[in-house]
A and B are shown apart, each in its own frame.
Chain A
Amino acid sequence: MQTETLAPPERSVSTGGKPVIVAEGLVKIYRGRKTEVRALDGLDLTVNEGSVLGLLGPNGAGKTTAVRILTTLLQADAGHATVFGLDVVKDAQRLRSLIGVSGQYAAVDEHLTGRENLILFGRLYQLTKHDAAIRAVELLEQFELTEAADRPAKTYSGGMRRRLDLASALTGRPRLLVLDEPTTGLDPRSRIGMWEAIRERVRAGATLLLTTQYLEEADELADSIAVVDHGRIIARGTADQLKSQIGGERIEVIVHRRSDLDRTRALLGGEEVSVHDHLRRITIPASGGAQRLVEVVRVLGDEGIEIDDIGLRRPTLDDVFLKLTGRATENNDESGDDAGEGKQP
């Protein structure tokens, strides 16, 4: 599949730094006894110094695999990647002191206190005892964990654990921060707290690679977005470019009687109308925003078409996907392994 470049690759949005991550043609195949999963299929990626790249893709797209290769945890079968000019395989050990990684699960020792976790990781980042203790206090403060500092992490809420995990990734003052689905499984409030914590890092000048399944999250945090599907980048651009490409907001109508679907479609007109038969749902672009919504309600009311639900909806990853690949994301109906894992108490 051709990469659909929404913006010229050397885009103006990414603050003009030098490339920090350069990955070319990464291939990773997981081989089981009988199965073979091509998790990465020639993935190319560049992240510039001081910028935030959002790697956006549905469950199973290959985000975690890519992140694990870039953070020295996994070796690619083909392709090549450097971070800060260091080869992720040959110079792995040197690279590790420059990066901070926070994986898909809050990887902290739940029986240690928040402070003990941070001191342990700081020491393993090769800080001295003294420096590790001071750094722990700083980070606990920054992530609003001071009060819970001396409680075992087991007693933390999901949001607190994620914050502790992010703080752990920062103990060594890394120059590149890599976050794999930092808010998956969090409730909306914790998610916003986490966003704030991440934005804080960005303001402090960190270079950031983050993966997410939510267009909204990439939009909130990233300067530019790379959409990944089946182990390849299928589109690149800013959130605005992606959204304008899929036509911004849309109106979603759910009619009461399925037999009304065709009539409704005809009334609302245009090629851009998409109909979901089973859900009795019709989606149209809402170029006029709320004004258009009022219009639609009036037209349908005049025609006596009963509706169950109507609303303005912001574009989601699903819409991006539908547009780019002509098919819906596959992880909607599954409960989603990834989302589930994050919900551990």
Chain B
Amino acid sequence: MSAGTVPVAGGGLKQAVTDGWLIAWRHLKRVSRIPELAIMMIIQSIMFVLLFAFVFGGAIPLPGGGSYREFLLPGIYAQTIVFASSITAVGMVDDVSKGLLDRFRSLPMARSAVLSGRAIFDLIYQFGILIVLMASGYAVGWAWHDGFGNLLAGIGLLLLFVFAMSWVGIWIGLSMRTVESAQQVGFTVIFPLTFISNAFVPLASLPSWLRPFAEWNPVSTLTSSIRELWGNPNPYATENFPSEHPVVMTLIWIGIMIAIFAPLGVRKYRNLSR
């Protein structure tokens, strides 16, 4: 037989979209089969709320006053989203080690779909988690004050951040050989990022040598952005670019992360055939 008679699989944007959705569908199905993963993630975030709101909360004064819980919840939302990238990383390693990625790569599907499908899924999944957390936050006394438009803008910004973190997770996942090492990397990067930030405590309480890191930290700028958008207490320690323009700074960070990690992830994926 001659190669000329071989039908070429659809190709193009339409196939990329369809196949991306198929992969996202696959991940969504998995969520319904292992609901405990989503539940654990929500419980973990609620634990943080309880811990900080009821245990440490009383001891953390907010410069400029305001409710600590209203201050805390945006930090929890940001932290949850940042932690999610390690779930992406672990999922990627798992797919590689179980041979599923090889199966996908042996199929005449759009090359981009494995990664884009994962990113689409992360967006949908984290959106769901966020809604549950915001409802829980509302129950313990958090609220937004600056109108529906700003609420949506805050959610939009969080989701953009999810998208960027998902590429970080994809890159980490494709770089690691075992689930444990992916978890470990996630932990060692994410832990300082979330705890040396304004997510739980006002930055004024940090030692001054640590402050610049905390101020420019993307987790801080994301948290400040949503506090600002939603009219929640948003004290700052120093007047500088990230404290005055947190939304702009966060968008810049998102741009930088995508610009660095999306190409790195794609390259790792291509290099699987090396």
Residues of A within 8 A of B (CB): 18, 68, 71-75, 84-86, 91, 93-99, 101, 103-112, 116, 120-121, 123-126, 152, 168, 172
Contact = CB atoms under 8 A, between A and B. Distances in A.
Interface in B1-45: 1-3, 6-11, 15, 18-19, 22, 25-26, 29-30, 33-34
A124 B107 contact: yes
A254 B8 CA distance: 61
A17 B273 CA distance: 30
Given A75-B274, A84-B3, A109 B107 contact: no
Contacts of B19: 124
24 contacts: A73-B102, A73-B106, A73-B273, A84-B6, A86-B6, A93-B11, A94-B3, A94-B108, A96-B107, A97-B8, A98-B6, A99-B106, A106-B99, A109-B30, A109-B100, A112-B29, A112-B30, A120-B26, A123-B18, A124-B19, A124-B104, A125-B107, A126-B109, A172-B108
In the A-B complex, the 8 residue pairs with the closest CB atoms: A107-B99, A97-B108, A96-B108, A105-B99, A124-B109, A111-B33, A107-B103, A101-B106
Nearest to B8: A94
Contacts of A104: 99
B211 interface: no
Contacts of A107: 98-100, 102-103
A97 B105 contact: no
Interface string B235-274: 0000000000000000000000000000000000000111
Contacts of B1: 18, 84-85
Contacts of A85: 1-3
A71 B106 contact: yes
A14 B106 CA distance: 27
A118 B18 CA distance: 17
Given A94-B3, A168-B103, 12 more contacts: A71-B106, A86-B3, A91-B3, A94-B6, A94-B108, A97-B108, A101-B106, A120-B26, A121-B103, A124-B104, A126-B109, A172-B108
Nearest to A168: B103
Given A73-B273, A75-B274, A103-B103, A124 B3 contact: no
A38 B111 CA distance: 29
Contacts, number: 102
Given A94-B6, A107-B99, A112 B26 contact: yes
Interface string B59-85: 000000000000000000000000000
A236 B103 CA distance: 29
Nearest to B34: A111
A81 to B, nearest CB: 14
Nearest to A30: B274
A50 to B, nearest CB: 12
A74 B270 CA distance: 10
A152 B111 CA distance: 27
Contacts of A112: 26, 29-30, 33
A123 B9 CA distance: 11
Contacts of A101: 102-103, 106
Contacts of A152: 33
Nearest to A344: B98
Contacts of B29: 111-112, 116
B261 to A, nearest CB: 24
A97 B106 CA distance: 9
A105 B98 contact: yes
A264 B3 CA distance: 62
A98 B10 CA distance: 14
Contact of B15 (A73, A95, A106, A126): A126
A180 B8 CA distance: 26
Contacts of B33: 111-112, 152
Contacts of A99: 106
A269 B153 CA distance: 91
Contacts of A125: 107-109
Contact of A73 (B11, B30, B100, B105): B105
A108 B30 CA distance: 13
B113 to A, nearest CB: 8
A125 B273 CA distance: 20
Contacts of B102: 68, 73, 101, 103, 107
B273 A93 contact: no
Contacts of B100: 107-109
B174 to A, nearest CB: 15
Contacts of B9: 93-94, 96-97, 126
